[in-house]
Amino acid sequence: MFAWQDYGVKPDIMTCAKALGCGVPVGAFVLGRKGGGILSGARRSRHHLRRQSFVCAAVSKVFDLFEEKKLVDHVKALTPYLEQKLDELVTSHDCLAARRGKGFIAGPGGDRQTGGPGGEKSTGQWSHRHVCRGRCDPAGAAACH
């Protein structure tokens, strides 16, 4: 479920947010054994957390649903298809450098001409104009679609 799990390391401290509550605003941090000593004098935090039963219930339910619906397995099963389609997108657009990311947190990235993401703000809609930012040869632009 977390990227660090594929690299054979365990973080001392990990922050989590957003999808953790599936719509319920929540942020959290998880402490490993080494990081646990950081809170040794912070007894007040425990009292504050007791009052957040709704948020804790929401997070608990999200984890239950992830296990029940086997969402992580589903993502792992679909990832090769997503990677294939992203690789095809990168191959068909001269201005894209590579597929970047892991799992469902992946996308086309980089700019072969500048090495950066380009200067145009994203609107969230994919089109030739957004992907190539006008750098494809106009004669070959039709091939980019």
**What's the residue count for the chain?**
145
pLDDT at 134: 56
The average pLDDT across 96-102 equals 86
Residue 95 contacts by C-beta under 8 Å, 6 or more apart in sequence?
Answer: 111, 112, 113, 118, 131, 132, 133, 135, 136
Nearest to 94 by CA among 136, 34, 52: 136
Looking at residue 88, what is its pLDDT?
93
Specify the pTM.
0.59
Which range of 22-36, 62-76, 115-129 scores highest in mean pLDDT? It is 62-76
